[in-house]
Amino acid sequence: MGEAKETPRWTPRRLARWTGAVAIVTALFMALFGVYGPPNDLSPKAFWLYWTIFFFFLMCALGLAMIDATITIVTFRKEHADLRWTAREAALHGVKSKHIKETSKGDPNS
């Protein structure tokens, strides 16, 4: 009952996800401010700089999302391969699971 709560660790993946979230929120607010903000009486150089920074944040968010998706897919494939290996080893050693329905080999309709 009196156990201390473990503080979450900042793993590289968590840091990348937070960075991506901050980048996409910043890009969203910059887009909204750029469209609905005060009148654009900025110089062409300031206008170019503003939208360049916006696209930088947007591309950072998209790039980090693609990297995270790739890492998720690779992790899923590795875990799936480990699960298949474990199931194969269990079948080789005759371990039966209560979740696998066993059918008779003589009757193809069962």
**Is 23 exposed, middle or buried, given 0-12, 13-18 or 19+ CB atoms closer than 10 A?**
buried
Check whether 85 has a pLDDT greater than 70.
Answer: yes
What does pTM read for this prediction?
0.67
94 torsion bin: left (phi>0), alpha (psi -120 to 50), beta (else)? left
Task: Compare 42 and 77 and report the one with higher pLDDT.
Answer: 77
* Residue 74: count of CB within 10 angstroms of its CB: 10
pLDDT of residue 51: 92
The share of the chain scoring above pLDDT 70, in percent, equals 82
d(CA 8, CA 38): 41
